[in-house]
Amino acid sequence: MDRDGAETAPCLRCGGTLDFEFTMAFQPIVDVFTGTVHAYEALVRGPGGESAASILDRVDDHNVYTFDQACRVRALELAHALGCDRTISINFLPNAVYAPRACIQATLAAAERLQWPSSQLMFEVIETEAVRDRRHLQNIVESYRAMGFVVALDDFGTGHANLDLLIDLRPDLIKIDRELIRDIPAAPRRQRLVDALVTLATALDIRLLAEGVETAAEAAWLRRRGIALQQGYYFARPGLEQLPVVDADRFAALN
């Protein structure tokens, strides 16, 4: 136990081995105001570049704890091997974390071994994960933030990541779902919704990140609304076991 009575022993449910292999692709998260890569999101893939779905379909109640831990460690090890010096963003499964401080031990050990700062780790609440216990998720978010990690709500505005989550949670960052971004320069209703999110995020001291940005027009509109952090095919597609470079002209086109 730590001084607050929280469980800090290694996660007993996270042991064992997986009967399948996987790797990671990395996609840049950029800051359009500075014209730089802010972070890279680690996305699970098959060893030959197979889709995330082909791997996630093999995750069940028996191996979810082991898989969740393996993903975190694999993302860190691969990013380190690639010479990454930016924040790494990793999806996490709330229902695979039964005790935040216990289930993070393998990640902490890997970060210490690789000399990876906790401030350069961002955990995203995965968009497809239905939260069975809202208080449990609140505990995870608060624990991770207390340990110096950045916490984000993924795909905000659709699926399970909806407005009511902000009643209980205090994330550092909200990722606006692609459905709200698509063709936004010509979609007044989407514009009103995103403008409302900008106002809400400012009031709650939460940063916004627009994901699924696919065109210069979308990126430029978001930039004019003050949304600096963006991610999507317009800037770069995910690179299998590599850190994609974002061309400078991607940023220049937005000015």
Positions annotated as catalytic residues are: 211
CA 173 – CA 159 distance, rounded (Å):
17
Q: How many CB atoms lie within 10 A of CB 159?
A: 15
CA 204 – CA 71 distance, rounded (Å):
31
CA 99 – CA 89 distance, rounded (Å):
21
The token pair at 133 is 């216990």
Strand locations in 12-171, DSSP E?
A: 23-31, 36-45, 87-92, 121-125, 150-156
C-beta of residue 42 within 8 angstroms of C-beta of residue 26: yes
The token pair at 104 is 């993070």
